[in-house]
């Protein structure tokens, strides 16, 4: 690998930067202006909280009417972060006007006003980017380019980045080329994700598509948009797309060596979405995990239990392991509630009261009707089993069982039906001889 870094040019560029710093920064008038700009920043940071409090009171007041009240939270997100830079900009702008009126040097004030204006505009525009990471990354990148252009260092910086390059055969890789590629990828990937979100929202609004098909088409469209964005970004910066053959070979090698599980989970997820064996909202039980499916991802299925714990189960396990889907073909689920009654009670009355208790809840289906069966004659009780049907298992199973058991208890107490205690009969076959040591 042959290096193409021109060190004499780099030294010349460094000397030029040093000379520019000595000529424009390390002079008394400019140092004074820099000091005033820093003091303005400290003052703006000090009064920021008070200004935000005043702005909040203004927004909470009658100013703006119903429009302000309707968009109060959005205005907070949009305006509150601008309080400090706006106050800083006003102070520096006032200093610039004063210097101009008094014919004092004001070059640093001019640069400060331009940089702060760019900061405010960029921060205001980026409020439309919801994701905080993307918003911060784009803000830093755009403001850095704008700042370099304002101070006249953009072209020298680009030239310096282009000098930092290495040559691999016919391919030249420079720091400038890497930066351009990254910026293009970020821009096109953001556009691809935004377009995919719009399509997914449109798919969710289509009533004739099942939730599984909505998720499947949404994932496929997102992957397609991302692939197109990567190809367009690479082509826009002049990358030879024939190099993707090498990448595809490396990808195949990676899959063969260590990505089998990842690929297996990916295709298992596609199979789950196609055959609709499970879908968002289904109540399932797998590997002692019982809950409802929150979402189906490319690698795992999110199952939320009644405890609020979210289990991330790999898609491959839902293909290979037995899965209980309580709402696959229909939502009806039968619950079994075993209990026992005393041998001395009226068994017919106990059965009728148990059915009455179950029928008093709206969640219990009327058809099929609740049933109470005699299961066996136990050692201490007559064993009964109450069977009921529900169609909303996602709302919980243990809670409705507890309510039925409590209602059975209340009705039995009111009507003299008793639950037995454990009974043991002791049979003595002969006299017991007890010897007492004296």
Q: What is the pLDDT of residues 1-20, one digit of tens each?
A: 444 445 565 666 666 666 65
Q: Is the dihedral of CA 114, 120, 121, 122 positive or negative?
A: positive
Task: Choose from 25-34, 188-197, 417-426 the range with maximum mean pLDDT.
Answer: 188-197
Share of the chain above pLDDT 90, in %: 13
pLDDT at 171: 61
Q: What's the mean pLDDT in 21-30?
A: 66
Task: Report which DSSP code applies to 369.
Answer: P
Distances in Å between the Cα of 402 and the Cα atoms of 182, 375, 384, 398 are 58, 21, 16, 6
Phi, psi of 356 (to 5 degrees): -60, -40
Whose CA is closest to 81, among 25, 125, 141, 113?
Answer: 125
Give the mean pLDDT of the chain.
Answer: 77
pLDDT given at position 4: 47
Answer with the residue of higher pLDDT: 300 or 186. Answer: 300
One fold for 174-258 and 333-415: no
Average pLDDT of span 395-402: 87
Neighbours of 112 (CB within 10 A): 25
Q: Which pLDDT value is given to residue 124?
A: 78
Q: Which fold has domain 174-258?
A: Helix Hairpins (1.10.287)
Enclosing H/E stretch for 171: strand 171-174
Distance between CA atoms of residues 128 and 281, nearest Å: 32
3-class secondary-structure state, position 300: strand
Could you report the per-residue pLDDT of 124-173, keeping only the tens digit for each? 777 766 666 766 777 777 777 777 777 676 777 777 777 766 666 666 66
Give the residue-averaged pLDDT of 17-45.
77
Most confidently modeled range among 48-52, 392-396, 428-432: 48-52
What is the C-alpha separation between 200 and 225, in angstroms, rounded? 12
348-373 in b/e burial notation, b at 16+ Cβ within 10 A? eebbebbbebbeeeebbbeeeebebe
In the chain, the percentage of residues whose pLDDT exceeds 70 is 74
Q: CA–CA separation, 295 vs 303, rounded Å?
A: 8
CB 296 within 8 A of CB 281: no
Label residue 285 by pLDDT band (50, 70, 90): confident
pLDDT digits (tens, 9 = 90+) for 367-392: 889 999 999 998 888 999 999 999 88
Say what the pLDDT of residue 249 is: 63
Residue 344: what pLDDT?
A: 87
pLDDT at residue 279 in the model: 80
Most confident of 102-116, 152-166, 253-267, 416-430: 102-116
Q: Is the peptide bond before 407 cis (omega within 30 degrees of 0)?
A: no
CATH number of the structural domain 266-325: 2.30.30.60
Beta-carbon count within 10 A of 307 CB: 7
Query: What token pair was written down for 274?
Result: 């196609």
**62 phi and psi, to 5 degrees?**
-80, -10
Q: Where are the domains of the chain?
A: 2-169, 174-258, 266-325, 333-415
Q: Is the pLDDT of residue 196 over 80?
A: yes
In this structure, of 36-50, 66-80, 259-273, 399-413, the range with the lowest mean pLDDT score is: 66-80
**pLDDT value of residue 2:** 44
Q: 319 pLDDT band (50/70/90 cuts)?
A: confident
Topology at the third CATH level for domain 333-415? Alpha-Beta Plaits (3.30.70)
């Amino acid at each position: 690998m042959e290096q193409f870094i021109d060190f004499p040019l780099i030294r010349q560029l460094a000397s030029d930067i040093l000379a520019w710093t000595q000529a424009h920064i390390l002079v008394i008038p400019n140092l004074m202006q820099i000091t005033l700009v820093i003091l303005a920043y400290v003052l703006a940071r000090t009064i920021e909280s008070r200004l935000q409090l005043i702005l909040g009171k203004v927004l909470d007041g009658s100013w703006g009417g119903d429009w302000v009240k309707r968009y109060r939270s959005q205005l907070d997100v949009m305006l509150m972060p601008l309080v400090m830079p706006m106050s800083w900009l006003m102070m520096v702008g006032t200093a610039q006007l004063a210097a101009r009126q008094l014919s004092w040097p004001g070059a640093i004030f001019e640069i400060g006003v331009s940089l702060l204006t760019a900061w405010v505009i960029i921060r205001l525009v980026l409020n439309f980017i919801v994701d905080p990471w993307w918003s911060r990354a784009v803000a830093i990148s755009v403001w850095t380019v704008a700042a370099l252009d304002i101070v006249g260092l953009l072209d020298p910086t680009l030239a310096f980045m282009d000098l930092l390059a290495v040559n691999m055969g016919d391919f030249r890789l420079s720091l400038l080329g890497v930066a351009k590629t990254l910026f293009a990828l970020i821009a096109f990937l953001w556009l691809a994700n935004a377009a995919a979100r719009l399509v997914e929202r449109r798919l969710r609004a289509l009533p004739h598509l099942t939730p599984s098909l909505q998720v499947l088409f949404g994932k496929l469209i997102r992957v397609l948009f991302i692939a197109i964005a990567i190809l367009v970004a690479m082509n826009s910066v002049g990358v030879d797309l024939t190099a993707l053959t090498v990448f595809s070979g490396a990808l195949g090698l990676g899959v063969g060596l260590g990505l089998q599980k990842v690929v297996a989970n990916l295709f298992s997820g596609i199979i789950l979405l196609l055959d609709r064996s499970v879908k968002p909202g289904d109540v399932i039980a797998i590997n002692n995990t019982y809950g409802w499916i929150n979402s189906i991802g490319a690698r795992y299925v999110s199952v939320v239990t009644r405890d609020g714990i979210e289990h991330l189960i790999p898609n491959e396990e839902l293909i290979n392991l037995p899965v209980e889907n309580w709402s696959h073909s229909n939502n009806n689920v039968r619950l079994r509630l075993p209990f026992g009654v005393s041998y001395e009670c009226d068994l017919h009355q106990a059965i009728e009261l148990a059915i009455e208790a179950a029928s008093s809840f709206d969640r219990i289906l009327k058809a099929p009707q609740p049933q109470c069966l005699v299961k066996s004659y136990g050692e201490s009780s007559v064993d009964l089993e109450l069977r009921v049907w529900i169609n909303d298992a996602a709302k919980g199973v243990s809670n409705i069982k507890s309510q039925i058991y409590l209602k059975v208890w209340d009705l039995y107490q009111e009507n003299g039906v008793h639950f037995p205690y454990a009974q043991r009969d002791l049979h003595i076959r002969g006299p017991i001889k007890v010897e007492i040591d004296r």
